[in-house]
Amino acid sequence: MSLNKILELDNKTITDEPAKDKSDLPWYFLKKLMMNNVTARNTCISESQNDTLNPLDLITALFLCSDGFVQQDLVLKMSMCQFSVPLLLPNCDTKQCTLMLWAMRDIVKKYRPPDLSESKGFIEERIVTSELPMVSFVRLGECSMSKSEILNKLLSNSQQNHDTFVHRNMECGDSPRVISNGLTEMTWYLPCGNKNMDIFSEPVAIANLRGDIASFETQFSFLCQTSAAVFVFFDELEQLESQLELLANKNHKAKIFLVGNQQNKNLSIDAFKRLANNLGKTNILIKQKQTNDATFIKGLRKAIGDVVYDPQMKISVEKMADIAHELGIEVDEDSKECQEGKKNADAITAEIKDIFEYKEEQFPLQGQIWKELTFLEKEEFRLRNVGSENIENYKSNLRMKKEEQRQKQNTYAVSDVMARFIKAISSPERERGYFLKWVRMNLDDLSQEKLSGLRVKYKEKYSDSEHKQEIKEIDQQLSNSSLGVEHFFREMGQIYEASLSLPETDPSRQQLQHLPKLCAQLLLDGFPLELVDGDASNIPLRWVSDVLYQLNDLVSPKNKIVVVTVLGVQSTGKSTLLNTMFGVQFAVSSGRCTRGAFMLLIKVNEDYRNILNCDFMMIIDTEGLKSPELAQLDNSHEHDNELATLVVGLSDVTIINIAMENSTEMKDILQIVVHAFLRMKEVGKKPRCQFVHQNVSDVSAHEKNLRDRKLLLEQLNEMTQAAAKMEKREKNKKFTDVMEYNPDTGNCYIPGLWNGNPPMAPVNAGYSEAVYELKKNIIQLLGKCGSTSNNILEFIEWITSLWKAVKHENFIFSFRNSLVADAYMRLSTEYNKWEWEFKKEMYTWVTNAETRISNFGTVAATSDTSDMEGFISELKSEALKELMKLESIILEKLKKYFEQPEGHVYLVEGYREDFSNSIKSLRGQTERSVFNQLREAADIKQGKQELDKIKTSYTEKIEKAVCALIDECQSSEVEPMQIGHTRLTSEERLRSSAAPSTQSPASRQEADPPDLSSVPPDYHDLAPVFSFVLEGGQVKPSEDKIKAVLDWPTPENRNPSKPEALEELCL
């Protein structure tokens, strides 16, 4: 039985009908186990009560018919459910048994021993390699006590009773065992580091042999040589007596505890003690008549507690293989394929000392060069740095650079490691499977040490937004020290892509032609392949599409696929959800684990193809989107956006995973998704989505959250409107316009994953059931959608065009609002500063220019032009020059601003044009106002000149009049005017009264009116004219007012009434 067959989607996948006969049972068990359902072992048949099957027989049978990969998967799922797993698997046909070392290899457990409880640290180990004390439980003859039930109680704490071992009081547990006698099961007790909860403070392995040791001596010997203690349960003394030889074997390392039950009336304690003494075994435990189970278990725990501290008695399952070999027990890892795979894998991973260096050395193509290529590819579409360069030139330049990078890639010979890797995956299917598993496990072990510490740190800091810088560093370290099989495939993709730039006849190109087919085969085997490289944030498009073309060739004409993807904030259990739902194995861990996006194929059974309208289901697991705060650190929102847009675009159903704790973060991300959905609609695709709310366990969740769902829908509608406005698609008013989404059925509430306190907690049955409901929903949804599903070729088209669109997208509008707002604010503040500087400079210039205008024509001013208009136009061109200079300075500043790495400047890239337009209009405005100011200053200057003229002409007139007056006086012998007690001639008098004031204009206003006491009353009216004219008035008089002044009659022909115009002029 192969894994592909088990994971296949068929008509049993979503039916809830109970098993009708025995032949249904294995499939029901597998279906439930693959979904981590703890009720999987209930193997009752609904219709007949007699026709029952012991769960142990079922498990044994399944293991016997499975290949190594299925066995490994079964064991992994069983251990997640905290079921015991087979250690020694009996084969009733050959009477042989097998040590299930390979099957257990994939289990990795975490626990916290007492010395780490302070620091909250933990140990993460591959369980088969960790040295642990083992305690075994066996039975001799018939036994009235249920050993397995006692063991279950021994391992459960008071508030949590879990059936680790199948026991007779379980559903169908009492049906007779047929093939499972001799089965030895194993489980582990792992402490959580809390004294009050831990049963044993150190980890302990527990083994349980099914059947009578008298019939399974090999298994018993194996246990006695590997365990620290063996507890032999028995009822009858005679049985002990008959097996003295077996019990007294000197080769046995383990302490033997004889466990009797006094409730069996035949057991005489004295006789028992005597016998034990004779045997040299002093360790006896008796369940007396009056002791209840709890007390008995307490004694048992104490006995175990005492033996497990001996460091000599610790052994790993891996080391048990030697003992097994000695005893003639087969080890599953002995198979040729497995050994060959291991050898090849070790040859590759043995060289690794420092992961970072290893990657640099062995994978040169995917390092900096690939990142550079990614940048060039995107820049070719986005043209962010084109500046004033000709676009076509710029593009061809970029293409040339790309070509150079490809050539650079081709200068590297295929590294040693890669050559070995490619050779190994070219081996036959089973060997290749083993090889890939071995490589994965070896690499996991290598990075585990380093990563687990980093991940814990990451999680600690993650919750605290103050440690942004540290998080960024840890994230970088995580990425540097992680090395997985995907890196090998990534390198393979790059080698392949680079080879395509070589001539077709080039032998090194031809040698690589088979790689896509190899990977297509792997996809068909159910191996996850990287679609988006999370580190470079790019899709190796040629590589991916060639792999898919090959896949198409392999499966044609059955090439229809549907795509299911998951999207959500990081570490919210997305991979766990998919693994549970489809039984697959995407990488799961507690740090930032999934990078980029991985695709995996699941076959659809022939009979189910009509219903689901497809031949394959493609599942895409994506990297967790970062929370907006974290995204700010390394600008990963761009990557997140690209990823979200792409996967939403590709999928038929998108699962949007929301952990209750971070639903606010999710809202930001939903905005991206809405944009993505909106664009999908434009290309004629209306995707469906399912919201999954994790960690909601209340039964009333669905009811209670009605309001929340409504709110969510309202928010989604709001986002849709906002997004539609930004994308200029205003007719989309509601979320349901862009998505197939039903608020009632489109939400699924999933309780927490663990039932109890890890590491001893099994998966919560509620979790598994809720995920099953979701799976049903999704499959029904897909079934309903008619024959819209694409075939693989169309899928390739989709990826290509979507990725092109994504690369084209400047994402101006699709960024998270908070970030854009933040970036925009920064730019505005900066812009205000520049604007202020610009205005200040111009103000200074204008003041200076005004002074120059007012000095124009004076001796001090030196100007080439003699007329004012000429001077003004000279100033104007100077102003223009100045403005241009300042404008280019500010534009340069804007350019520099967009070049800096911090501040998420590219987020506001879309506003760049607006800002440069603002700069231009600032220049325009300032230009107009400067010109006006120059004009005004010139006008004032001209007004002054005009007035000077008036002054001169008036002076002459007045002079004349005064001379005439003086002459008149002299001729009529009137006493001359007394000014300052000096006798003056008429001309001197006039001049002295008209002498310009040296006072400042301000003080002039406050100066006393001129003393006119000695002036004849006839001339008093002219005094304001004098003072105005002589003081060089600042107000430019209008033409008619000037005329009024000039027409002012001389004393001879003056009208005695005062002219009004003059009064106004003087105000």
Ligand X SMILES: Nc1nc2c(ncn2[C@@H]2O[C@H](COP(=O)(O)OP(=O)(O)OP(=O)(O)O)[C@@H](O)[C@H]2O)c(=O)[nH]1
Select 433 or 534, whichever has its Cβ closest to ligand X: 534
When the beta carbons of 225 and 570 are compared against ligand X, the nearer one is 570
Q: How far is the CB of 198 from ligand X (least distance, A)?
A: 19
* Amino acid sitting at position 474: I
Rounded Cα distance between 203 and 134, Å, is 9
> Nearer to Mg ion by C-beta: 594 or 690?
594
In whole angstroms, how close is the CB of 164 to ligand X at the nearest point? 19
Residue with smaller CB distance to ligand X, 345 or 656: 656
620 or 1029: whose CB is closer to Mg ion?
620
Judged by beta carbon, residue 471 or residue 1045, the one nearer ligand X is 471
3-class state of residue 740 by DSSP = strand
Q: How far is the CB of 795 from ligand X (least distance, A)?
A: 23
Are 654 and 688 spatial neighbours (Cβ–Cβ below 8 Å)? yes
φ/ψ (deg, to 5) at 982: -115, 140
> To the nearest 5 percent, what fractions of the chain are helix, strand and coil?
55, 10, 30
Question: Could you tell which of ligand X, Mg ion, none binds residue 694, using a CB distance below 5 to 8 A set by kind?
Answer: ligand X
Burial 513-522 (b: 16+ CB within 10 A, else e): eebbbebbbb
What is the spatial distance between Cα 959 and Cα 991, in angstroms, rounded to a whole number? 9
Nearest CA to 498 among 410, 374, 624?
410
In the complex with ligand X, the residue whose CB is nearer, 756 or 857, is 756
β-pairing, 96-99 with 330-331? parallel
Q: State which residue, 191 or 759, has the beta carbon closest to ligand X.
A: 759
How far is Cα 499 from Cα 542, in angstroms, rounded to an integer?
11
CB 637 within 8 A of CB 628: yes
CB-based burial label for 673 (10 Å; 0-12, 13-18, 19+): buried
Burial code (b: 16+ CB inside 10 Å, e: under 16) for 677-687 equals: bbbbbeeebeb
Q: How far apart are the first and last CA of the chain?
A: 112
- The separation between CA 853 and the C-alpha centre of its own chain, rounded to angstroms, equals 64
Q: Of 163 and 621, which CB lies nearer to Mg ion in the complex structure?
A: 621
Q: What tokens were used for 688?
A: 């469906």
Min CB(70)–ligand X separation in Å: 22
* Separation CA 717–CA 708 (nearest Å): 14
State the nearest-atom distance from the C-beta of 592 to ligand X, in Å. 5
Q: Which of 603, 565, 740 is nearest to 13 (CA)?
A: 603
Please report, as ranges, the residues that interact with ligand X according to CB under 6 A: 570-576, 588-590, 592-594, 623-624, 694-695, 752-754
Tokens read off for 336? 């040729």
Minimum distance between the CB of residue 333 and ligand X, rounded to whole angstroms? 27
CB of 74 to ligand X, least distance (A): 19
Instruction: Compute the least distance from the CB of residue 600 to ligand X, in Å.
Output: 14
Query: How near is the Cβ of 478 to Mg ion at its closest, in Å?
Result: 13
To the nearest whole angstrom, how small is the minimum distance from the Cβ of residue 569 to ligand X? 7
Burial grade of 1020 (CB within 10 A; 0-12, 13-18, 19 or more): exposed
Closest to 479 in 3D by CA, of 361, 598, 630, 594: 594
- When CB distances are held under 5 to 8 angstroms depending on the partner's kind, the choice from ligand X, Mg ion, none that residue 98 binds is none
Q: Using alpha carbons only, how large is the chain's radius of gyration in Å? A: 46
Which chain residues interact with Mg ion by CB under 5 A? 574-575, 594
CB–CB of 531/803 below 8 Å?
no
What's the closest the beta carbon of residue 764 comes to ligand X, in angstroms? 8
Given the complex with ligand X, which of 560 and 574 has the nearer CB atom?
574
C-alpha span between 819 and 812 (Å, rounded): 12
Angle at 73 (CA atoms; ends 69, 79), nearest 5 degrees: 145
For 80-138, give the DSSP string: HTT--EEEEEEETTTTEEEE-HHHHTT-EEEE--GGGTTTT--EEEEGGGS-EEEEEEE
List helix spans (H) across 785-816: 792-808
Please identify, using beta-carbon distances, which residue of 180 and 571 lies nearer to ligand X: 571
How far out from the chain centre does Cα 264 lie? 63
Among Mg ion, ligand X, none, what binds residue 191 when CB lies within 5 to 8 Å by partner kind? none
Q: Which does 752 bind (CB under 5 to 8 A by kind): ligand X, Mg ion, none?
A: ligand X
Q: Which is nearer to ligand X, 572 or 789 (CB)?
A: 572
589 binds, among ligand X, Mg ion, none (CB under 5 to 8 A by kind): ligand X
Q: Closer to ligand X at the Cβ: 566 or 612?
A: 566
Paired tokens of 295 = 């007390």
Closer residue to Mg ion in complex, CB, 575/814: 575
CB 572 to Mg ion: min, Å = 9
d(CA 64, CA 42): 20
Helix (H, G, I), strand (E, B) or coil at 654: strand
Query: Least separation, in Å, of the C-beta of 194 and ligand X?
Result: 16
With CB under 5 to 8 Å by kind, the binding choice for 753 among Mg ion, ligand X, none is ligand X
Binds 182: which of ligand X, Mg ion, none (CB < 5-8 Å by kind): none
Question: Running DSSP on this structure, what letter comes out for residue 749?
Answer: E
Residue 573 interacts, among ligand X, Mg ion, none and using kind-specific CB cut-offs from 5 to 8 Å, with ligand X
Residue 855: which of Mg ion, ligand X, none does it interact with, CB under 5 to 8 A by kind?
Answer: none
Cβ distance to ligand X smaller for residue 477 or 590? 590
**What is the nearest approach in angstroms of ligand X to the Cβ of residue 621?**
7
Tokens representing residue 77 in the block: 């799922």
* 695 contact choice in ligand X, Mg ion, none (CB below 5 to 8 Å, kind-dependent): ligand X
Pairing of strands 132-140, 229-234: parallel
Cis peptide before 203 (omega within 30 of 0): no
How far apart are the C-alpha atoms of 843 and 883, rounded to whole Å? 11
**CB neighbour class for 482 (10 Å; exposed up to 12, middle 13-18, buried from 19):** buried
Nearest residue to ligand X, scored by beta-carbon proximity: 624
Which does residue 526 touch among ligand X, Mg ion, none (CB within 5 to 8 A, set by kind)?
A: none
Residue 694 or 768 with smaller CB distance to ligand X: 694
Q: How far apart are CA 73 and CA 105, in angstroms?
A: 10
CB of 599 to ligand X, least distance (A): 15
CB of 624 to Mg ion, least distance (A): 6
Among ligand X, Mg ion, none, partner that 481 touches (CB below 5 to 8 angstroms by kind): none
| Cβ distance to Mg ion smaller for residue 591 or 628 | 591
Residue 570 site contact among Mg ion, ligand X, none (CB < 5 to 8 Å, cut-off depends on kind)? ligand X
Minimum distance of Mg ion from residue 589's CB (angstroms): 8
